[in-house]
């Protein structure tokens, strides 16, 4: 993010709203010096203040950060809002100096360009890693390299990139390499993931995301096999991770609750309604 350009846009919108720096500062509970620093491009607003600024100045975070045209109506609040998630992550990463995440956002977006979620050609695939990264932050996972791995976890497997060619730190490359299944058995794949804490939490968030949306893209047989794999490999991985990696124990507990609730509910629905999901749902 170019702080000077962002500062100019904040100043432009502030003056359009006929507010002084002091008045703006009072409305969003910061010092006038902070507003002055933003407008001069010396610092950037943290993600929470950026959101307040956008609301107050009747614009969007995307406009303040990148100059993208639009107004509040561009943000309908839908679950697959790529622009909103991207802007939130970029703002958060900028304010907390997450250098690997800031590189991973445009890199993953470019690599996944033109790809769409299974079962619905209207939803860009990039919303999947974006949503996972937002989920991770919401659960309190804020390590720069972990969020970068989450954003990049599919670029090798789906975009033809070799792990060794990723322009990121060794930790990020190793995490993505571990998550890339290339010619190994399922048992070996999950065993390797269990040995890498960042890869393990990424896989667990990935599975939580996928079981949350599988009714929209999987047919009945695929759902049955996916649930079986989840019970055989993912839930044991989750429990091992909770024991081995105490830094993720709370998150693992939340993910176990959500994953188990989802697959138990879907299995019960399929049991009671035998024709449920015989044809993939194309919402």
Q: What pLDDT, on the 0 to 100 scale, is given for residue 130? A: 96
65 vs 91: CA distance, rounded Å: 8
**Residue 282 has what pLDDT?**
38
Tokens for 254, please give them: 């939340």
Question: Which superfamily does CATH assign the domain made up of 3-74 to?
Answer: lambda repressor-like DNA-binding domains (1.10.260.40)
Task: Decide: 126 and 108 in contact? Cβ < 8 Å.
Answer: yes
User: One digit per residue, pLDDT tens: the chain, 283 residues?
Assistant: 578 888 899 999 999 999 999 999 999 999 999 999 999 988 888 877 887 888 888 887 778 877 765 444 443 344 567 888 998 999 899 889 999 999 999 999 999 998 887 655 567 899 999 999 999 999 999 999 999 999 999 999 999 999 999 999 999 999 999 999 888 999 999 999 999 999 999 999 999 999 988 877 777 888 999 999 999 999 999 999 999 999 999 999 999 999 999 999 988 888 887 765 554 443 3
Contacts of residue 217, defined as CB under 8 A and 6 or more positions apart, other chains included, come to 117, 118, 119, 120, 280, 281
The predicted structure's pLDDT at residue 81: 79
Q: What is the pLDDT of residue 120?
A: 52
Residue 76's pLDDT is 39
Where in the chain are the domains? Answer: 3-74, 82-272
Q: What is the 3-state secondary structure (H, E, C) of the chain?
A: CCHHHHHHHHHHHHHHCCCCHHHHHHHHCCCHHHHHHHHCCCCCCCHHHHHHHHHHCCCCHHHHHHCCCCCHHHCCCCCCCHHHHHHHHHHHHHHCCCHHHHHHHHHHHHHCCCCECCCCCCCECCHHHHHHHHHHHHCCCCCHHHHHHHHHCCHHHHHCCCHHHCCCCHHHHHHHHHHCCCCCCHHHHHHHHHCCHHHHHHHHHHHHHHHHHHHHHCCHHHHHHHHHHHHHHHHHHHHHHHHHCHHHHHHHHHHHHHHHHHHHHHHHHHHHCCCCCCCCCCC
Place of tokens 């990935």: 206
CATH of domain 82-272: 1.10.3210.10
The predicted model scores a pTM of: 0.74
């Amino acid at each position: 993010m170019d702080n000077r350009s962002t500062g100019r846009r904040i100043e432009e919108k502030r003056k359009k709203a006929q507010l002084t720096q002091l008045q703006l500062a009072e409305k969003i509970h910061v010092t006038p010096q902070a507003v002055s620093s933003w407008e001069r491009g010396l610092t950037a607003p943290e993600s929470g203040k950026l959101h307040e600024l956008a609301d107050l100045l009747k614009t969007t975070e995307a406009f303040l950060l990148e100059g993208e045209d639009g107004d509040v109506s561009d943000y309908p609040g839908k679950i697959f809002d790529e622009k909103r998630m991207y802007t939130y992550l970029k703002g958060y990463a900028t304010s907390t100096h997450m250098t690997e995440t800031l590189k991973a956002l445009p890199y993953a977006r470019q690599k996944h360009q033109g790809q769409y979620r299974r079962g619905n050609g209207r939803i860009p695939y990039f919303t999947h890693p974006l949503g996972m990264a937002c989920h991770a932050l919401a659960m309190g996972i804020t390590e720069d390299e972990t969020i970068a791995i989450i954003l990049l976890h599919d670029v090798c497997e789906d975009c033809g990139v070799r792990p060794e060619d990723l322009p990121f730190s060794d930790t990020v490359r190793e995490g993505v390499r571990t998550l890339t299944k290339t010619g190994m058995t399922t048992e070996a794949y999950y065993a390797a993931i269990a040995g890498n804490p960042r890869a393990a939490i990424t896989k667990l968030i990935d599975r939580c995301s996928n079981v949350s949306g599988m009714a929209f893209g999987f047919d009945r047989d695929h759902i049955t096999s996916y649930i079986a794999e989840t019970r055989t490999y993912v839930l044991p991985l989750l429990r091992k991770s909770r024991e081995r990696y105490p830094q993720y124990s709370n998150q693992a507990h939340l993910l176990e609750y959500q994953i188990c609730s989802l697959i138990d509910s879907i299995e019960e629905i399929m049991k009671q309604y035998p024709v449920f999901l015989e044809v993939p749902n194309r919402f």
